[in-house]
Each structure stands twice: as structure tokens, then as C-alpha cells.
Amino acid sequence: MARQNMSAYVALAFILALTGCAAQPALSDRDAAALAQLDAVAGPTSGVDADAITDTECWLPSEHMLEEGVDSDTMWRVLCRVHYKTPTSERYQDTTCIGDFAAEPMLDHCYRWTHYDFAQVFEDHPGVGAS
């Protein structure tokens, strides 16, 4: 009986550990504000019907600051994945979005992302829920 209880505790600890790994990170105020704007902008400006969107997830803006070729320490570029439904299936569209923490609004447009060889893909970094 004690052996069964021990197995149950080990299984529970494993499940809790996995759940903790999948938890969304604590967001700074500026990341939360950027994600709120990304939620509103990423899908509709990249060609996805706003009424069909079910969820949007993006890379964390503060972890993807633009460093090369810009004279700014507040600009960022992220990929977002916009999930949406069609009459026959659930789909997603990846978008690339460039914003600036110092601007208001931080961004006004995102673009459909097309993967090219050696370019980053959404799965390269963790996604954070924007909605």
C-alpha cells in the first residue's frame, strides 16, 4: 500500500512539474501593453478575418529587441501566431510585427510571415498569449 502511495506522489510531482514548465512568464507592464496591442493588430492587419480569430500568441517583445541597424533601445520585432477557424478546420497564420515601447501606439501593422531557409520560425522561441 505504501508503495502505491509513493507511486501516486511521484506521478503527481511529475505532473505539477510539467504544468509549471508550461506556465506563462510574469509580464512586465510594457510587455503586457505590447501584447494587448499585438492581440488587436496582428491578425486583422495580416489578412485574417477578425471575427474568425480564436487566439493570438506572440514572442515576448522585451526578449526580441532590435539591436542591429537601428538607433533605438526601445524597438522590438516579434513573430505572432494568429489562430483562427474556417468553416472546415482550425488554422493559424504567422505574422511579423515591429513595434516600439516608446511609441503610442507601439505598432499599427503586422505582416504575413513567410518562412525562408535559415530564417527564424515561430517555434524557435516560446509564445506568450496575447489575449
Q: Could you tell me the strand order of the sheet in which 110-112 lies?
A: 110-112, 90-100, 75-85, 53-58, 128-129
Whole-angstrom distance, CA of residue 79 vs CA of residue 130: 12
Cβ-count burial 61-81 (b if 16+ within 10 Å, e if not): beebeeeeeeeeeebbbbbbb
Taking the CA atoms of 84, 44, 65 and 121 in sequence, report the sign of the dihedral they define. positive
Query: Which residues have CB under 8 Å from 44's CB, separation 6+?
Result: 50, 53
pLDDT digits (tens, 9 = 90+) for 98-123: 999 999 999 999 999 877 666 788 88
Helix (H) or strand (E) holding 71: none
Domain boundaries, the chain: 27-129
Q: Average pLDDT per run of 10 along the chain, which is 131 residues long?
A: 45 42 76 97 92 96 92 95 94 95 97 77 87 77
**Residue in 42, 33, 48, 44 with CA at minimum distance from that of residue 91:** 48
Q: What is the pLDDT of residue 76?
A: 98
Query: Which residues have CB under 8 Å from 117's CB, separation 6+?
Result: none
Its pTM stands at 0.73
